Amino acid sequence: MNLTTEAENQIKKLLTENDDAIAIRIGIIGGGCSGFSYAFTFADMIEDGDVVVNDHDAIVIVDPLSYQYLQDAEIDYVKNIEGERFVINNPIVSNQCGCGMSFSI
């Protein structure tokens, strides 16, 4: 899993603003218009089996089940006319909805 510079900067900013969080947790959950969705939450602990990605103090935690689907993904943070958001560029995705947060494999 790779973080762009923009994603690193945003993660560090979010972690600075949330005193209780040690990382951003990214996971995959069932649901969404294409079958699966990405979930972003604050993490206050590392659980057994979690994969920890630390790029320049931008810390991301992924559970082992989700990591198998995210290991080759790139996490980016974009600002455009639609607003600001994290974008996951995932090479294993076969179909995704227009917003990119829901996908199928």
Domains of the chain: which residue ranges?
2-104
Residues 105 and 96: their CA atoms lie apart, in Å, by 9
CATH code assigned to 2-104: 2.60.300.12
The pLDDT assigned to 30 comes to: 78
Residues 22 and 41: their CA atoms lie apart, in Å, by 11
The pLDDT assigned to 29 comes to: 83
Please give the average per-residue pLDDT across 44-67, as a whole number.
93
Residue 56 confidence class, pLDDT cut points 50, 70, 90: confident
101 pLDDT above the threshold of 80? no
For residues 68 and 27, the answer to whether their CB atoms sit within 8 Å is no
Q: ∠ CA 51-53-59 to the nearest 5 degrees? A: 115
